[in-house]
Structure 1
Amino acid sequence: MAHDGRRDADGDIEMATAPPVFEFIKAPKLTKWSQPSLVTFLRDRRQYGGKIWERYLATGEVHENVLISIKSSIEPQILEHLARYVFKSEVFALSEETLREEIERKAGSLMNNHVPDVDKLFAERLRMDTSEKDVHARVASYFISFDKLVDDNGLASWVGRAEVTDAAGQQRMKTRCKLLMANLAPAMLRVDIQRLAEVTHRHVRQDDVALYELIVTRASLQQHYHQMQQEVKKAAPEKPKSTAKKSDGGGSKPTAATPTEARKNP
């Protein structure tokens, strides 16, 4: 570390503070106008934006001067295509907000307007990792996997986690919670949560945050009792195996005399 030769009151050399070193943060590029590409772009863009914000907080740089715009992140040919065929405008007239809204709209829509069998989709591809002993991590991973399936298949409008503001939002949240409950594992947890949702915890049918908390609570209890059962089973002494034959009363049963013997012994 460099120093300027000055000394403090104790005679020690004052070391100049080195400027912080930051990694180069590369903005994601949009190179294909397809729903899967847009989903990935938005996901990477959120991560990129978070890193830029952390850098802004650490250095005090002007956030807008550091952040690469969405418009600059789109391949020129795609931008020209959008301007002419989608917006019927010129490239220079396309605003950041207009592009963001169109990307989010297409990413959150069903590809080719095809409506998949949602119940089957989640039943086949959503799994809870019961081998994960940390219940919080297990449930968090389950919810994250659910949202990734939602994003990847353009189902945000139907079962996304956006805030509820109207009747359509209530129906969306109700369907979301129903799917989350239907694919829980093990079966004991699924049945437990579904019964509670029908009787004593009816609010979790339309509140995914409350549902998450209930799942964590009940799964933790089940995991606790499962581990206790395993520990008690291991600690219990083995019962000696009995090798003695059952007693027949101290003697053998008399055998019936054959007809020949009966004639010899009248």
Structure 2
Amino acid sequence: MSGPQQKRSQANTAGDDGDASQPTTKLWTALKLPPIIYFSHGALVKWRRERELYEAAVIARCQESSESLAAVMTPVISTIHRRLLKTFCELELKMSVSEMTNDRLITAINQILATMMNDQIPNVHAIMNQHLRMDLRQKDVKARVLNYFDKFDELIEEYGAGFAVPRPRSDGEAQYTALV
């Protein structure tokens, strides 16, 4: 008396009576590569934020798959339209495109980001007053302080105002312990 056998889904690789010893293969989705479209300060701030997310995803992928980081990571110079790169090299950097390297482009972008658009410093006090709040509902004081500093760093990145606000010491211990 055998009844109809139940079909198992292809997705069930380790069911009740399945063999879980089969190796699994991870499939990677294509990572969205942020292009450089404009050389304006605001566009580059947004681009750098997206590029950092892209680089973190590539690093995580390489750590899990043992792939070479150099083989997977797309250089910055490959993410910019050729005509825009040519114009930027000739007019801003006074060099030919053939002389441009990935490191030189990153240095030039960092120099643009280190200054403000038309030398106008944003009103940091107004930005912080509007967006930066300590969550007093959080009972854990250490978590409250860490969240506050995380939001502070997020605002500095978002508004590209890192040059206007002095960074704490590299260890950050004195500022952190003074607050906690």
TM-score range, shorter chain: 0.7 to 0.9
Amino acid at match of 1:47: L
- Do the aligned partners of residues 213 and 74 (structure 1) sit closer, same or farther apart at CA in structure 2, a change above 3 Å counting? farther
The answer on 1:212 being equivalent to 2:173 is no
The answer on 1:36 being equivalent to 2:42 is yes
| TM-superposed deviation, 1:52 | 1.0
Q: Specify the structure having the higher radius of gyration (Cα).
A: 1
Partner of 1:148: 154
Q: Is the 8 A contact 1:111 1:153 kept in 2?
A: no
* Matched residue count: 164
* Backbone CA RMSD of aligned residues: 2.8
Residue 159 of structure 1 aligns to a residue whose secondary structure is: coil
Distance 1:38 1:13 in 2: 51
Which runs of structure 2 are paired with 1:1-266 in the superposition (5 Å)?
16-161=22-167, 208-215=172-179, 217=180
Structure 1 portions without partners, runs of 5+? 2-11, 165-206, 218-266
Q: Is the 8 A contact 1:27 1:48 kept in 2?
A: yes
Distance 1:103 1:82 in 2: 11
Q: Is the 8 A contact 1:147 1:160 kept in 2?
A: no
Q: Is the 8 A contact 1:30 1:75 kept in 2?
A: yes
What percentage of residue pairs aligned between the two structures are identical?
A: 26
TM-score (norm 1): 0.53
Distance 1:134 1:163 in 2: 24
Q: Is the 8 A contact 1:36 1:152 kept in 2?
A: no
Structure 2 portions without partners, runs of 5+? 1-9, 11-17
| TM-superposed deviation, 1:120 | 3.9
| TM-superposed deviation, 1:15 | 6.1
Structure with the bigger percentage of helix: 1
Distance 2:27 2:144 in 1: 36
Where relative contact order (Cα < 8 A, 6+ residues apart) is larger, the structure is 2
| TM-superposed deviation, 1:62 | 1.7
